[in-house]
Homo-oligomer: A and B are copies of this chain.
Amino acid sequence: MQQHTETEENYLKAIYHLSNVTISSVNTSSIATSMSTTSASVTDMLKKLADKELINYEKYKGVKITRKGEKVALNIIRKHRLWEVFLTKVLKFEWDEVHTMAEELEHVSSDELIKRLEAYLDFPKFDPHGDPIPDQTGKLEINDQMSLSSGDAGVKYTITGVGEHSSAFLKHLAKYGLKPGITVSIAEIMEFDKSMLVKVNKEKFHLSLEVSKNILVKKYGII
């Protein structure tokens, strides 16, 4: 098994994630944005990743991740999410505190370590943000969740995840006590701006479309 640098791993992860939001190939500038670096640096790295056959790269035509590259990316994501479960379930961190630590832990190389951690955590299928955890072969269960913004008034939903992972957004949700596992019922949907009034344990509050769009849910009672 080939070894990759931490930087290469981070680029691959970013490209993998972008591939899931983009129909065609991933372009240089979107990678630059998501990595907080310049397009020039990205181009340099793309050549290196292409040499290692982790991506298919054609000058000026963007990038497609290869099966090989995808496997590497999924392994990093697997480690990231298992560590996030460990940090919340075992060390009792809040779900909005674990991402930064997992960004470091995901690069610890031992596959045996992660195998044992997975077993110790009793083979969790989803991380604290509702994202699926790939198994050793890279397969991941699809969490068939919907956005709260497409829910109906008068119906109860259980939060299963989020569509946006920024610390700012997670802390915003935490302020209302909103996190995976919590039950929310939609009291009213405003025609004008698609904002909604929701009820959580007797408390009522207002959610903008920007927020409700990024809260992922299932109908209450459906596991």
Contacts and interface: CB of A to CB of B under 8 A. Distances in A.
A120 B88 CA distance: 13
Nearest to A110: B101
| Number of copies of this chain that the complex holds | 2
Q: How many A residues touch the partner, as a band? A: 10 to 19
Interface of A: 87, 90-93, 100-101, 104-105, 107-110, 113, 116-117, 120
A116 B93 contact: yes
Nearest to A115: B91
- 9 closest A-B pairs by CB: A91-B116, A104-B108, A101-B110, A101-B113, A105-B108, A91-B120, A104-B109, A91-B117, A90-B120
Nearest to A116: B91
Contacts of A104: 107-110
Contacts of A100: 110
A101 B109 CA distance: 8
